């Protein structure tokens, strides 16, 4: 007789007795809705519903509405896609195929890059596989046996992964004639994959390392119902329209060049002007809050980076050079110079807190496979600040930074979410200091009544951090602002102050950015606004177009007067038809257009037209400048008027 085991069904807690070896789906069936589960949790661990139960424990069904279910569906879709690719391209070698936030991908080693026509063929083959309702079958094998299986199949990437694993057994999944190395779980059978779409393809280095072979990656997405897929594809279409790389080119904001090097931004006049406006805005906002402007060098001796711990813990992201037989590191962050400024003289408790702010340009060695427009570059400028304060001032400083972030992000129309990232495995400092720093961040958020998620092990190597993720117009999340609490570097650099008791004490350092990298923030802004910047931030606030060349002199006079009054204006003097010039101004998303004809010349006035097509009627240049000034104040929530530059 089979051994009986006691199963607790969650979330209700109902107790069921079953024979050892009973399938998970059989137990779930006793709880009702037996056909609706995608997978299950056994003692909190995700498993296939076809798995067997061997001992007492808990079982919880994973329904289609669960976040885990959509990830399982998408990972299963990646397997189906790989099966389809192998059936069309038998010589293809498979690499890895995970689910991701927006869907899934799989990397393949193939003789040539995929085309859009290939994706259509693969998608059609996937539908055939789905219609066959193939079961996902799991089996456990010894690692050596798995190596032999995949070696015989010529799957060298799977063999490489297996050879690095330090485990006795691994799991293999099979649907139809397709076999893959996988941890699982998967949906019960391919027929559940009813709504999917292959969305794009791109090159990707094996393991993201440019020294490894270039593979071909196919992206896709999947949902449990067609309506959700349609909504996502509509979202994707809108996101593509807002892609900052496309808009950056169309609006003539920035470019990249292979002659310059990957990850290095070239700002064109309009992009440089937006950046200049942002920088001036930031300087003023920081000065109003008691920050002091500082500037540190780009190169610092390698010995200094060793002292800080960057050489041991961040070296792979840094660039180094030799000068007069001395090794120097190109700074990836600005904190070292700021500590040296603090240490340049004796400090008193009366001096604290000290807030040093620098728009510091830094360089980080990002792998070429992760570079992505403005969002991931190798040279960028951070709105970096370091606050050195007494321990009893720390709570107020962290809360004031949170307020600063909230006020600034509201100007740009962003909501945000908050995470705390804790000590990573590779780190410096004592457990006591890490506990103090993490506790300080938690306490400040709790004092503010702000909810947060905890990301275990994702802090900086020198301290825990608050990460603030912006939510844009399409409800996407972007990491920008961060607050890092650091007891360790002040210790390493022997930073002190004289307390009220006359003794030396150790300050705490808070590393923080508000916008983060200006490049990344600009990329996020372009997509958030779809290139239609608010009036205060628009590089050109008014384009002046003439009906004929006879009005050019008047138009240029209008432009000069507006520039003097602080309006960023330009004249389109090209010998093109009026309709063409109007369309050009609309394409460049200029907030105002001033059409100059004989009537405007005779009246000495302008007739503004908003970018949404609204006609405002005749007014003087002074009246129009006042109008733009009011729009600047309104769109910046009273922070910025004219003459920001």
* CATH number for position 29: 3.10.20.30
Distance, in Å, from the CA atom of 460 to the CA atom of 509, rounded to the nearest integer, reads 13
Q: What is the pLDDT of residue 12?
A: 83
Task: Report yes or no on 306 lying in a domain.
Answer: no
Helix (H) or strand (E) holding 412: helix 394-412
- What is the DSSP secondary-structure string of 203-268? EEEGGG-TTSPEEEEEEEEEESSHHHHHHHHHHHHHHHHH-HHHHHHHTT-EE--TTT-TT--EE-
Same domain, 521 and 396: yes
Given the residues 216, 382, 484, 551, select the one marked as catalytic. Answer: 382
Same domain, 92 and 24: no
Give yes or no: residues 510 and 602 share one domain: no
Helix H segments across 258-393? Answer: 269-288, 302-308, 310-313, 335-342
Task: Give the separation between CA 303 and CA 326, rounded to whole angstroms.
Answer: 10
Contact 453, 418 (CB under 8 A): yes
> What pLDDT is stored for residue 18 in this prediction?
87
Q: What is the DSSP letter of 425?
A: S
How much is the pLDDT for 349?
Answer: 97
Tell me whether residue 358 is in a domain.
yes
- Whether 411 is covered by a domain: the verdict is yes
> Of 41, 465, 568, 609, which one is the catalytic site residue?
465
Omega into 353 within 30° of 0, i.e. cis? yes
The conformation of residue 315, written as its DSSP 8-state character, comes to G
Residue 384 designated active-site: yes
Task: Output the 3-class SS for 369-409.
Answer: HHCECCCECCEEEEEEEEEEECHHHHHHHHHHHHHHHHHHH
Say which CATH number the domain at 445 has: 3.30.930.10
Cα–Cα distance list, 546 to 575, 583, 604, 613 (Å): 9, 13, 14, 17
Q: Which residues pair with 173 in a beta bridge?
A: 138, 180
Q: Which of 74, 511, 520, 528 is catalytic?
A: 511
335 annotated active-site: yes
Q: What is the CATH number of the domain that holds 96?
A: 3.30.980.10
Query: Among the options 118, 180, 383, 384, which is catalytic?
Result: 384
54 plus 74 within the same structural domain: no
Rg (CA), the chain: 30
Alpha-carbon distance of 405 to 399, in angstroms, equals 10
Last residue of a domain, one of 226, 257, 278: 226
* Co-location of 10 and 108 in the same domain: no
In a domain, 537, yes or no: no
* Same-domain check for residues 496 and 567: no
Q: How far apart are CA 25 and CA 10, in angstroms?
A: 14
Helix 394-412 crosses helix 431-447 at what angle (to 10 degrees)? 50
**Residue 93 backbone dihedrals phi, psi, to 5 degrees:** -110, 130
CB contact set of 445 (below 8 Å; sequence gap of 6+): 402, 418, 420, 452, 466
Q: Is 233 contained in some domain? A: no
Active-site pick, 86, 158, 197, 386? 386
Domain of 580, CATH number, reads 3.40.50.800
Task: Among 171, 203, 226, give the residue marking a domain's end.
Answer: 226
* Separation between Cα atoms, residue 452 and residue 445, nearest integer Å: 8
Alpha helices in 153-191 (DSSP H): 156-164
Q: What is the pLDDT of residue 644?
A: 58
Residues 548, 441 share a domain = no
Which sign does the torsion angle of CA 367, 372, 373, 374 carry?
A: negative
Q: Specify whether 349 is located in the same domain as 414.
A: yes
The residues facing 66 across adjacent strands are: none
Within its chain, how far is the Cα of 378 from the centroid? 15
Tell me, yes or no, whether 287 and 164 share the same domain. no
| Known catalytic residue at 93 | no
- The active-site residue, picked from 364, 436, 512, 609, is 364
Whether 391 is covered by a domain: the verdict is yes
In a domain, 24, yes or no: yes
Asked, for residue 438, whether it belongs to a domain, the answer is: yes
Q: Which residues of the chain register pLDDT less than 70? A: 1-2, 31-35, 643-645
| Active-site entry in 335, 389, 485, 621 | 335
Q: What is the reported pTM?
A: 0.85
Contact between 243 and 200 (Cβ < 8 Å): no
In this structure, the answer to whether residues 20 and 59 fall within a common structural domain is: yes
Same domain, 352 and 218: no
Task: Give me the number of domains the chain comprises.
Answer: 4
Q: Are residues 75 and 211 in the same domain?
A: yes
Distance (Å) of CA 395 to CA 108, 388, 408, 437, 497 = 51, 12, 20, 10, 19
Decide: 410 and 637 in contact? Cβ < 8 Å: yes
> Last residue of some domain: 529, 560, 577?
529
Active site residue 364: yes
Expressed as residue numbers, the domain containing 591 is 542-635
């Amino acid at each position: 007789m089979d051994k009986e085991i006691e199963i607790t069904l969650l979330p209700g807690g109902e107790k069921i007795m079953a024979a050892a070896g009973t399938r998970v789906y059989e137990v779930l069936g006793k709880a009702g809705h037996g056909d609706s589960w995608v997978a299950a949790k056994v003692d909190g661990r995700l498993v296939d519903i076809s798995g067997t139960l061997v001992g007492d424990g808990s079982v919880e069904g994973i329904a289609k509405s669960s976040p885990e279910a959509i990830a399982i569906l998408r990972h299963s879709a990646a397997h189906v896609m790989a099966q389809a690719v192998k059936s069309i391209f038998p010589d293809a070698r498979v690499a890895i195929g995970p689910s991701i936030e927006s869907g899934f991908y799989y990397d393949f080693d193939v003789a040539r890059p995929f085309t859009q026509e290939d994706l259509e063929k693969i998608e059609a083959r996937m539908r055939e596989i789905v219609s066959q309702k193939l079961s996902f079958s799991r089996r456990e094998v010894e690692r050596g046996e798995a190596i032999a299986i995949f070696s015989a199949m010529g799957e060298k990437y799977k063999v490489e992964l297996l050879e690095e694993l330090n485990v006795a057994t691994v799991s293999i999944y099979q649907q139809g004639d397709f076999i893959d190395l996988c941890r699982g779980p998967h949906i019960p059978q391919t027929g559940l994959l009813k709504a999917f779409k292959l969305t794009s393809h791109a090159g990707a280095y094996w393991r993201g390392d440019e020294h490894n072979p270039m593979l071909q990656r196919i992206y896709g997405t999947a949902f449990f119902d067609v309506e959700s897929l349609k909504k996502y594809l509509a979202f994707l279409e809108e996101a593509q329209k807002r892609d900052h790389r496309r808009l950056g080119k169309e609006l003539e904001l920035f470019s990249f060049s292979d002659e310059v090097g990957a990850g290095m931004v070239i700002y064109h006049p309009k992009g440089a002007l937006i950046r200049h406006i942002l920088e001036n805005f930031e300087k003023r906002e920081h000065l109003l809050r008691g920050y002091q402007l500082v500037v540190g060098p780009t190169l610092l001796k390698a010995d200094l980076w060793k002292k800080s711990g960057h050489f041991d813990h961040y070296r792979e992201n840094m660039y180094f050079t030799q000068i007069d037989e001395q090794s120097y590191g190109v700074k990836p962050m600005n904190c070292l110079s700021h500590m040296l400024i603090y240490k340049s003289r004796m400090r008193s408790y009366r001096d604290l807190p000290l807030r040093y702010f620098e728009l510091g340009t830094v360089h980080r060695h990002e792998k070429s496979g992760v570079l992505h427009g403005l969002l991931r570059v190798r040279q960028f400028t951070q709105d970096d600040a370091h606050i050195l304060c007494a321990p009893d001032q720390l709570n107020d400083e962290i809360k004031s930074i949170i307020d600063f972030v909230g006020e600034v992000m509201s100007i740009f129309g962003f909501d945000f979410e908050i995470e705390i990232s804790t000590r990573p495995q590779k780190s410096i400092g004592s457990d006591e200091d890490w506990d103090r720093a993490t506790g300080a961040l938690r306490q400040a958020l709790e004092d503010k009544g702000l909810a947060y998620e905890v990301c275990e092990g994702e802090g900086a190597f020198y301290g825990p951090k608050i990460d603030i993720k912006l939510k844009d117009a399409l409800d996407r999340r972007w990491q920008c602002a961060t607050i890092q609490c650091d007891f360790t570097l002040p210790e390493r650099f022997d930073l002190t102050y004289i307390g009220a008791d006359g003794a030396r004490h150790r300050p705490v350092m808070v590393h923080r950015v508000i916008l983060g990298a200006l490049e990344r923030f600009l990329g996020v802004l372009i997509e958030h606004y779809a290139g239609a910047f608010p009036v205060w931030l628009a590089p050109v606030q008014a384009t002046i177009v003439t009906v004929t060349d006879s009005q050019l002199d008047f138009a240029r006079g209008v432009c000069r007067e507006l520039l003097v009054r602080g309006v960023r204006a330009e004249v389109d003097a090209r010998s093109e038809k009026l309709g063409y010039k109007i369309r050009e101004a609309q394409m460049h998303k200029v907030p105002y257009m001033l059409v100059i004809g004989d009537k405007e010349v005779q009246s000495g006035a302008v007739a503004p037209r908003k970018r949404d097509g609204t006609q405002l009627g005749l007014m003087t240049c002074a009246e129009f400048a006042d109008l733009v000034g009011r729009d600047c104040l309104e769109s910046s929530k009273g922070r910025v008027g004219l003459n920001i530059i």
